Amino acid sequence: MLKHPRFVDMDKCIACGTCAEKCPRKVDDEYNEGLAKRKAAYVPYAQAVPLKFAIDKDNCIYFQKGKCRACEKFCPAGAINFEEKEERLTLNVGALIVAPGFEEFDPVQYDTYNYTSFANVVTSTEFERILSSTGPYQGHLARPSDNKAPQKIAWLQCVGSRDVNRCDNPYCSSVCCMYAVKEAVIAKEHSDVELDTAVFFMDMRTYGKDFEKYYNRAKDEQGVRFIRSRIHSIEEDPETKDLILQYVDEKGLLQTEIFDLVVLSVGLTTPKSLIDLSEKIGIELDEDNFAQTICFRPVETSKPGVYVCGAFQEPKDIPYSVMEASAAACEAKATLAEARGTLVKEKTYPPERDVSSEPARIGVFVCNCGTNIGGIVNVPEVAEYARTLPGVVYVEENLFTCSQDTQDKMKEVIQRENLNRVVVAACTPRTHEPLFQETLRDAGLNKYLFEMANIRNQCSWVHSKEKEAATTKAKDLVRMAVARAQLIRPLPQPTISVEPKALIIGGGISGMAAALGLAEQGFKAYIVEQSEQLGGNALMLAETWRGDQVAAQLGEMIMQVKEHPLIEVFTGATIKESSGFIGNFKTVITQDGKDSEVEHGAVIIAVGAEEYKPNEYLYGQDQRVMTHLEFDSAFKQTDERIKGAKTAVFIQCVGSRIPERPYCSKVCCTHSIRSALALKEMNPDMDVFVLYRDIRTYGQREKIYRKARSKGIVFIRYDLDNKPQVLQEGEGISIECLDPILDRKIKIQADLLVLASAIVPRNNEHIAQLFKLSLNEDGFFMEAHAKLRPVDFATDGIFLAGMAHYPKPIEESIAQAKAAASRASVALAKDQITVEGVVSHVNEVMCRGCGKCVEACPFGAVNLVEREDGKTVARVQEALCKGCGACAVVCPTGAATVFHFEDAEVLTMVEAALKG
């Protein structure tokens, strides 16, 4: 591995920004896609992690011309080091995870779009920056040519995707439809005028959880126009720099429209550098240059011990990237299970000093933050003032209170001066409180004996033009912090033990994958399956979209589960009751009328979903009409209805994307096309029709759509206003629909009709209530965060996988299941869990058991319990409490409060503020 020099000492840099301020060299800012400038001494963006500057050698005047070194001269921390050399490092690791992402498609290749010559043609990422408040126009909607606010914006979809003519990317990039809809919606919100937005698309692929609703809202409520057309070229009015688009509308008429700005929805590609990297690592890429994987092993590369996740595996959105990331971690953990914990050390602290009987001895550290605070606030005056405050026995001012040498000194001062409270007047506790708390612990103090006054973000930065007033305010803030410090108390951080076992509800593909993921890491897993056998919906499936036989792979998986010594399977079983919290659940499983209790530290919900049974299109009335799962079963058994068919028709979106069930079932387009191809392979003379609304073969699934068309499968689009009519006519089934291209009604005589029926949630109420989980309005389980925590629930220790979350194909179910196993193992790998001290508690004398706090708690941490004396009171399960205070807010009697933020501790600050 080659480590490039940063030319800034990370330990010394305090991110004050002086180097960038003094650097005379301006270059294009890649963070803002070249729409703004940065310096050669820079930090990529304000919230960057690590928040340390770097010098861009290729653009630095000193490196290019031999003199300047302005940054070095002005750096207050002496952090600039021009002598830093690149380092060649060799890492000895047990596994490798490849997550290098993607590069956006360079639209220069589309010469008729004139991306380089027309200023107002931008890429979608450039438009993200245009929308952003940290972007080139500070979040004001503006276009590059004249910085004027656009009134009409167009998005052109599939630029560098689904295209083998102008580029070589036959796949769909999966994310562009949704990001274009989002950009259009946000642009409308940002605009001062009634902004006209138009998205030019081929198929609208809003297939993910809550995507279709978002699309419907954009279309019906926010007035985003959606035009089904692929634009050939963009022309510019040389005077106004406006852009002219021509397209043929649905009626076949040529339309011309003028837009102020055109956004190219660019696709996701693998750059040359990653192709080279793959070669070095020795992993195989597929023909689109994504890492080669198979559906049943979605994160395993061709090389053992090397795992892949994110867009380098296949173009995908954030939640699925996050799922795969955890799945890859699961595989790596399983591979290295024996070596867990061998290379990490646990930090030890000196015993905590008991300060309960001591009067407050407060130490105050006032920070200059270079010139950030010191340049505005008179820090010596604030420090002098702090000495006069009650309880303060020690005060010092620092250039940088957060620097490592100050931490060492602070520890020494705490011990020497026998301090029992510490106040730091500096920046924000959000970034720095943990650092100072750590120093307190190192010095033998409880970490809650610490308080911060934010005299930077809330004072010097916002009052930079009023130095005197800022100094007065800084004193106020310090006085308030010291007043509070008098009252704060040490808080215990109890530990709870962890039962290193997991309960998995559901024995389909997801449940089994999760169980294997845990068992391979060395944790015991119980699978509870309500039916008599393992396998779930997959028992009926014929092939994955990549063409693997499901039965063979599934059989192998079932065998692995049954044979694994750490997996115990309960079939024909249900959950009767469950109690407890992360690390310590107790669940009663009922099997054959017998109850057995298991103890476990985590729960994985993998109950799956089921196929909707249609009540239209002659389903149930004619045996030649079947759902797609029924088709798979029949196909596997070479049923006569299929073998003898001469004309087959597939109808898509049966029960999906309709007002009463607005979501897209995600898998049906791919599944129908795979089935249609299988029919064509079986009998090339068969006429096969697919009646669809949008074909949603996202990602590389697009390639089977292309193949289907080349094999002569006919695709006819319909919309909700003109649904196909299905009638029994003579010997056959007649299907009538309106062909939008011919603008004529056509009639197909078929002898096989396959309905791509929706995937609907099971009756999840019972499980949701048992574990206090939420369901979304469609009835699927709701994860903690749609983007960043797609397998976690808000309640700790409970995780989600597979179709219980949302309809998804096998590869995504397995990835999510492995992800759930990875997340669960984070909890199970600990001998004990430390509970934070800032938790709420209920004064039972004042509690009247109304239950408002139970409803308010987003983490399921509060319960109503009946005491032995018959009184009902609320009790807090501290292991689940996050200290958010929602219970304290709703409590009508004041019984619920949060430690560290009790009324007295907060009110004293208000009093101190008013005393100034």
Q: Which residue of 81, 109, 114, 132 would you call a contact of other proteins, by CB under 8 A?
A: 132
Q: Which tokens hold the place of 140?
A: 């004001």
Shortest distance in whole angstroms from residue 208 CB to other proteins: 7
List the interface residues with other proteins, window 20-39 (CB under 8 A).
31, 33
Residue 891, both tokens: 């409590």
**Between 29 and 163, CB nearer to other proteins:** 29
Of 308 and 686, nearer to other proteins (C-beta) is 308
**Looking at this protein, which amino acid is placed at residue 603?**
V
**Ramachandran category for residue 194: left, alpha or beta (phi over 0 → left; psi -120 to 50 → alpha):** beta
Smallest distance from other proteins to CB 53, Å? 8
349 binds other proteins (CB under 8 A): no
Name the residue nearer to other proteins (CB basis): 214 or 715.
Answer: 214
Residues 182-201 that bind other proteins (CB under 8 A): 182, 185-186
Nearest to 35 by CA among 113, 109, 138: 138
Question: CA 761, CA 748: separation in Å to the nearest integer?
Answer: 33
Question: CB of residue 207 vs other proteins: minimum separation in angstroms?
Answer: 11
Rounded Cα–Cα distance for residues 239 and 237 (Å): 6
Alpha-carbon distance of 860 to 847, in angstroms, equals 18
Decide whether 245 or 327 has the Cβ nearer to other proteins: 327
3-state secondary structure 634-674: HHHCCCHHHHCCCEEEEEEEECCCECCECCCCCCHHHHHHH
| Dist CA 849 CA 853 (whole Å) | 9
Q: Interface with other proteins includes 333 (CB under 8 A)?
A: yes
| Closest listed residue to residue 22, CA positions, set 286, 540, 361, 371 | 371
860: left (phi over 0), alpha (psi -120 to 50) or beta: left
Cis peptide before 50 (omega within 30 of 0): yes
Extract the tokens encoding 766: 């019972």
Q: Does 99 bind other proteins (CB under 8 A)?
A: yes
One-character DSSP codes across 820-839: HHHHHHHHHTSSEEEPPS--
- How many angstroms separate the Cα of 635 from the Cα of each of 273, 515, 614, 621? 44, 30, 20, 20
- Minimal distance in Å, beta carbon 279 to other proteins? 14
Per CB under 8 A, 787 contacts other proteins: yes
β-strand partners of 27: 38
Question: Which residue, 280 or 744, is less far from other proteins as judged by CB?
Answer: 280
CB of 826 to other proteins, least distance (A): 4
Please report whether residue 49 would count as binding other proteins according to CB under 8 A: yes
Q: Give the CA distances from residue 835 to residues 25, 144, 364, 495, 842, in Å, rounded to whole numbers and listed in that order.
A: 50, 52, 28, 6, 17
For residue 98, state whether it binds other proteins (rule: CB under 8 A): yes
Q: Measured from the CB of residue 50, what is the shortest distance to other proteins in angstroms?
A: 7
- State yes or no: residue 285 binds other proteins (CB under 8 A): no
**Nearer to other proteins by C-beta: 52 or 489?**
52
Binding window for other proteins (CB under 8 A); candidates: 233-241, 342-350, 452-460, 767-775? 342-350
Minimal distance in Å, beta carbon 439 to other proteins?
22
Q: What is the size of the binding site for other proteins (CB under 8 A)?
A: 79
721 binding other proteins? (CB under 8 A): no
Question: Does 829 help bind other proteins (rule: CB under 8 A)?
Answer: yes
Question: Can residue 81 be called a binding residue for other proteins (CB under 8 A)?
Answer: no
| Residue among 251 and 280 whose Cβ is closer to other proteins | 280
* Shortest distance, position 732 Cβ to other proteins, whole Å: 42
**By CB under 8 A, which span of 46-54, 57-65, 254-262, 622-630 interacts with other proteins?**
46-54
**Is 67 or 280 the residue whose CB approaches other proteins more closely?**
280
**Which SS3 state, helix, strand or coil, does residue 692 take?**
strand
What residues between 448 and 507 interact with other proteins by CB under 8 A? Answer: none
Interaction mask 212-241, other proteins, x per CB under 8 A = -xx---------------------------
The distance of closest approach from Cβ of residue 803 to other proteins in the complex, given in angstroms and rounded to an integer, is 19
CB atoms under 10 Å from CB of 515, counted, come to 32
> Exactly one of 9, 84, 106, 210 binds other proteins (CB under 8 A); which one?
210
Is residue 336 near other proteins by the rule CB under 8 A?
Answer: yes
- Give yes or no for a contact between 351 and 435, defined as CB atoms under 8 angstroms apart: no
Q: Measured from the CB atom, is 665 or 840 closer to other proteins?
A: 665
What span, in angstroms and rounded, lies between the C-alpha atoms of 847 and 862?
13
Alpha carbons within 13 angstroms on the beta-carbon side of residue 359 total: 4
Assess 141 for contact with other proteins (CB under 8 A): no
Cβ closest to other proteins, residue 123 vs residue 757: 123
Binds other proteins by CB under 8 A, chosen from 92, 348, 357, 710? 92
- Does residue 355 belong to the site contacting other proteins (CB under 8 A)? no
**Candidate ranges 68-76, 122-130, 419-427, 642-650; the one touching other proteins (CB under 8 A):** 122-130
Local structure of residue 212 (DSSP, 8 states): H
> How are beta strands 832-834 and 840-842 bridged, if at all?
unpaired
Q: Quick one: tokens of 83?
A: 């002598």
237 vs 764: CA distance, rounded Å: 58
Reading the block at residue 786, the tokens are 């749609």
The reply to whether 380 sits near other proteins by the rule CB under 8 A is no
Q: Which residues contact 191 (CB under 8 A, 6 or more apart)?
A: 141, 149, 150, 151
Residues near 500 by beta carbon (within 8 Å), at least 6 away in sequence: 523, 524, 601, 828, 829
**For other proteins, the closer CB: 188 or 900:** 188
Span from 303-311, 404-412, 480-488, 506-514 in contact with other proteins (CB under 8 A): 303-311
Work out how close the CB of 226 gets to other proteins at its nearest, in angstroms, rounded to a whole number: 15
Is 784 a binding residue for other proteins by CB under 8 A? The answer is no
DSSP type of residue 543: B
C-alpha span between 141 and 153 (Å, rounded): 11
For residue 164, state whether it binds other proteins (rule: CB under 8 A).
Answer: no
Q: Is 324 in the site for other proteins (CB under 8 A)?
A: yes
User: In this chain, which of 23, 35, 43, 582 binds other proteins, going by CB under 8 A?
Assistant: 43
Task: Give 700-746 as a DSSP string.
Answer: GGHHHHHHHHHTT-EEEE--GGGPPEEEEETTEEEEEEEETTTTEEE
Identify which of residues 586 and 830 has a Cβ nearer to other proteins in the complex. 830
Enumerate residues 877-916 that contact other proteins by CB under 8 A. Answer: none
Candidates 80-88, 453-461, 724-732, 823-831; binding stretch for other proteins (CB under 8 A): 823-831
